[in-house]
Structure formats: C-alpha cells, structure tokens
Chains A and B, each alone.
Chain A
Amino acid sequence: MYRIRTAVTPWLLLLPAAVLLAAFTHFPAVMTFISSTFQTPRGKRPAKFVGMDHYASMLSDPVFVAALKNNAIYALGTVPASIALAMLMAVIVNSAIKGKALLRMSFFLPTVLPMIAVANMWLFFYTPGYGLIDQFLGLFGFHGRNWLGDPETALGSLMVLAVWKEAGFFMIFYLAALQQISPSLGEAAALEGAGRWYFFRRVTFPLLMPTTLFVMINAFINSFRLIDHVIVMTRGGPDNASTLLLYYVYNVAFRYWDTAYASAITVVILIVLALLAFIQFGILDRKVHYK
C-alpha cells in the first residue's frame, strides 16, 4: 500500500476544521475589531476612521459603566455560588443515600430546560403579591415586594436564577470527577480518624481541582454570554439596574443601530474573557494536580 508521508498530510487533515474556525471565529473577531475603529456608516455617509474614539467614549457612557459594574457583580456572585452549590450537590448525590437517583434528576432538571422557559417560570416566582416567593415569605409576615421592579433587588433576582440554572449542570462534571476517586481513599482516611470535613478539605477538594478549573472558566464565560433571562424578565431595568454587557451590546447594535460602538464593546468583552481565562490557567494550573 502506498502512503502519502509528507509534511502536507497533517495540514490537509486539519484543513476542514481550520477553515470553519477561521471563517466563523477568527475572521469575525478581526472584523469586529476593525469595525470598532470606524464610525457607523449612516445613509450615504461612508464609514470614517476614528481610531480608539469608541473606546474612549465608553468611559463616559454611564450605561456602559453600569453594565460593566453589573456584570462584574453578576460574575463574582454567580460563579463561586454555583460552583460551591454544584460541589455540594455532587457530594450529596454521590454518597450512599436513599433516593439518590431521584435527587440527581431533580438537581439536573434546571439544566435541561431552555433558559427562556426557566425565565418565565421564575417570572411567576417573582410576581409581586401572589408569586411563589412572596406567598412563601407572606407566611412569615413579610410584605409583598416587586423583586424585579426594584433597582435594589433586580440584579440579585437574576443572579439567584442563574445560580439555580447553572449549578445543576456543573454538578454533572463534579459527579463524574467524584466517581473517579477510589473509595479506598475514603476508607484509608476513615481508619486514620479523619472526619468528613477534613477528608473533603485535604483529599476530595484538591482532587476536584482540575474540574473546578474547567467549570470556573466555563462559568465565567457563561456569565458574560447568557442574557436570555435579562430580556425575558427585566429588559435591563429598572434604570439599567440589571443591564449586563452583552444585553447592552444587543441594544446598541439592534435598537440604536450603532454597530461600530457595539463592536467596540464586544471587543472589550472578548478581552475581559481572554484575560480571565489566562489568569485562571496561569495561576491555578500550577497548583492543580492532574492524574
């Protein structure tokens, strides 16, 4: 049999994937950056090169600053919370308790539902007066409250939903990782008299670190990427109290049709995400134990 053994072969094999990646990821990213340095063309007026002007004007754009701040709060709140919750649920569901199949399913359920459906469900939970949450709190004598209509609570309400939705998904990764850990480790530690918390801290948690790194990067990306619930529940309001960056991009691009400015914000999001990924890999990767 004749075999083609040249340096070209591997490149040919990579070509289809490389073409798709370049056409739908790299090329648009570069185009986005280029268009962010021009003015948005209007009517007959051609696009004019403005350099970094869009980036400079962001700093004085109160909505952008609000969206950036909201997104930071949103990410720093939902990521650790959903990771901690996911780990806790996985440990519970991995232990030898009755009805764990049912528990696993109910923890995972939010993941299966589309975000739009989840948002509609929670819209009902948050309904002032007769929503599930107000009814429940009413039992303890609390007054009804407009959770999504109050600038104080709007962002927090969205964050609760996000944690609820994401934790179940991350739980699956943790569950898979936990099942890789040999039960004899737990037995050896139990013989030495290590308590559950000690064992978790010294053994389980470090062994889950590769999963945590993976989950954390995904969680951060999701916190900038998922905005369906913002559109369904608050539309960024009231008074931009729950605007997230991507939702603002959407508004700028498709409601105000300032695509160049929207491109500039998109580039900022990309840079933030890339920085976050680099930091996480750079710092944590050295401390993570891989099998």
Chain B
Amino acid sequence: MTGIEIVNLNKRWATFDAVKDVNFTVEPGTLTVLLGPSGCGKSTTLRLIAGLDTVTSGTIRIGGRDVTDAPPARRDLAMVFQSYALFPHLSVEENIVFGLKVRRVPADERRRRLNRAVEILGLGPYLGRKPSQLSGGQQQRVALGRAIVAEAPICLMDEPLSNLDAQLRHDMRREIRNIQRALGMTMVYVTHDQIEAMSLADQVILMKAGHIEQKATPEELYLKPATTFAARFIGTPPMNLVGLADGAGGAVVKGTAARMFEGRGEGLLMGLRPEQIRVGEEGMLPVIVRNVEYHGADSILECEAGEENITVRVDGVRPIAVGSRLSLSWEPEAMHVFDRESGFVQPVR
C-alpha cells in the first residue's frame, strides 16, 4: 500500500498564490478529503499530486518516493477530473477501458474489470453510447468508471459526484467508500460539500484561500474547530459566533449582564452550535425569541441576546411564540472561544 506525503507545497500562478505552504500526509489505505469553498486551491493541490502542473516549491512523495518532478504516468495513480475529460469520439465502454488498453491489460482481465465497474455504476444500458448522448450524471459515472478499473494504488477524485441527484450521490458515496476499503486504495477526494466530507473521510483537510485552515478527523473538526472559519464551514445551520465584552466579574455577551466565564471578554467570540443549546425557563443566557422556523423534524429559533443574535435548533415542533422570553443553557464543552482578530480558538478559562 502506498501513502502520500506533501511537504511545504506552493503553487504560484503569475502573481497569484493558489497553494501556500501546504503540508499533509495521507496514510496508506485511507481516504482524505480536501474541503473548502470554491477557488481555495483544492483542484490545484490535486493536480500537483497528479503531476499535471509543476510545483513552484515543495516536495511530493508517493510511497516514500520523491515524485515532485516525475511525469504523471510514473506516479501510479488514477484520477477523476472535475470536467470528466471523456473522449468524445469513443463509446462509454472504450472510454472506461482506454487506460487498460494503453497498459496492455489482457482482454479477459479488461472485461472482468469493466463488468464490475459497470455493475457498480449502473452503466449497463449505455455502454455503446458516445459521451454526448449521456446526461451530466451519466458522464460523471463514466469518469468514475475509468478510475475504478485502473485499480491503481492511489486514486484522486475531483468532485466526482457534483452532478448527481441526492439519492444517487448517497449511493455512489457508499460505493466509493466500499471500493476504496475493499481494494485498500489510498484516496484523495475533493469536495466543497461538508456532508460528503464528513461521511467519507478518515481525515478532512479544510482549505481556505490556498492554505490549510485545519486538518482533523471529521469528529474533531465538528467538536473542536480550530478557527472561526472552520467553525462556520461545518454544520447546518453554522455555529453561532457571539460577540463578548468585559463585564462585572468576567466576560459577558455584548449588551447583556450574563456572565459566561471569568476573565476578559473584549475582543473574543463565543462559539455555540445551534443543536447543542437547550432552551428552558432557567438557564445561563436570557433571550427573546425573534423568529421561529419549522423544519419538520426540528425547528430553528432566532433569538436575541443584547446586541447579539443566536440561532438555536430544537427537536420537533414546539409551541414557542415569537416575542417570548426564554433562557439558553449548554454543556461546558459545547462552548468555544475564538479571538475576534485572528480567528484562532482560545483556551476557555
């Protein structure tokens, strides 16, 4: 099995740093997700690993071997392109086995791998068609098929499910995970969908504007966000960031006298996940309900506390009237404190 090591990777386009000092390791046989908003450098990082673009500086090791300057073919990896990169003049079948023919895989072995991929991806009825005769989602599955049949030790995927409907996306996600585990593949998977990242990854690398914001397991990313960006990127609705101020005997929520913890509060933000807040008559923070949104299984309350707004998610449909006064409470570990300027997490006193 083969792992990937990225050391101090940089990529500069003319005057623009697309990737800045990126370091991470993908353990053999695991799945790492590159997550981040559009334009943050996910595809660029993936293309550098594949060898399709040259690095500005830094080192890429695959299986312990320095491949920084090696051509793509020497890196022993398969890739699903964001733009699919299907050959328009070849049929679905020929597209899928293109690489196997290049590598002179014997015909019966080719057939075996093709049949398996076709079954997983449900491409059976389309084998004879040209890509232009397929829907976007079907094309995407052909691109996936090409990567699956390669059975390369490393597989890079650039938003391979972005064009599928919710049901198919869910099924494909599970299939990808199964194949990855069954074949012991090392996989780097790019997405901007946090749910995809959380459900697939052994390790999530959260990127922002070319640098790594946080690398962690999905649980850690959810429970211990390292920055305000990470805090807001994961979870729906996103984490509340409540402005704090200096108050009598400690930090208070801006515009209130509710003491949150000892010490200064000015210049800090308090992070609270909407689903980790309880509502009741008694609590730590008195609020006024400003809006209630029913979502079926749960409801979203928009609450006001002094100068700040706080979103709370409660189970089921509760008879809470707009304008009513409630009090919020939470477990100590649900509270995160960030520096307002730098965005970094601070130890809670």
Chain A positions near chain B (C-beta within 8 angstroms):
182, 184-185, 187-194, 198, 202-203, 206-207, 289, 291
3 closest residue pairs by CB, A with B: A192-B99, A193-B73, A289-B89
Selected from A189, A206, A207, A289, the residue in CB contact (under 8 A) with B102 is A189
B317 located at the interface, meaning its Cβ lies under 8 Å from any Cβ of chain A in the complex: no
**B102 to A187, Cβ gap below 8 A?**
no
Q: Could you tell me if A188 and B102 are in contact, using CB atoms closer than 8 angstroms?
A: no
List 24 A-B residue pairs with CB atoms under 8 Å apart, sorted by A's residue number: A184-B81, A184-B85, A185-B85, A185-B87, A187-B72, A187-B81, A190-B52, A190-B71, A191-B50, A191-B72, A191-B73, A191-B77, A191-B79, A192-B98, A192-B99, A193-B73, A193-B99, A198-B102, A203-B87, A207-B89, A289-B88, A289-B130, A291-B88, A291-B132
Whether a CB of chain A sits under 8 angstroms from the CB of B83 is: yes
Q: Which residues of A contact B98 (CB under 8 A)?
A: 189, 192, 194, 202
Q: Which of B79-102 contact A (CB under 8 A)?
A: 79, 81, 83-85, 87-89, 98-99, 102
Q: Which of B81, B88, B130 contacts A188 (CB 8 A)?
A: B81
Docked pose: A106 CA to B102 CA in angstroms: 36
List the interface of chain B (C-beta within 8 A of A).
50, 52, 71-73, 77-79, 81, 83-85, 87-89, 98-99, 102-103, 130, 132, 146, 150
Cβ contact within 8 Å between A194 and B102: yes
Q: How far is the CA of A289 from the CA of B99 in the complex (A)?
A: 21
User: Are A192 and B52 also in contact (CB < 8 A) when A182-B83, A207-B89 are?
Assistant: no
Give the distance in Å from the alpha carbon of A182 to the alpha carbon of B99 in the complex.
18
A-B contact count (CB 8 A): 58
A202 CA / B71 CA spacing, docked (Å): 21
Bound-state CA distance A202–B83 (Å) is 20
In the assembled complex, the CB of A106 is this many whole angstroms from the nearest CB of chain B, namely: 28
New A-B contacts (10) at CB < 8 Å, excluding given A188-B85, A189-B98, A190-B73: A184-B81, A184-B84, A187-B50, A187-B85, A188-B79, A190-B71, A192-B102, A194-B102, A291-B88, A291-B132
Inter-chain CA distance A203–B98, complex, in Å, is 10
Closest to A192 in B: B99
CB-nearest residue of chain A to B82: A184
Task: Report how far A182 CA is from B87 CA in the complex, Å.
Answer: 9
Residue ID in chain A nearest B94 by CB atoms: A202
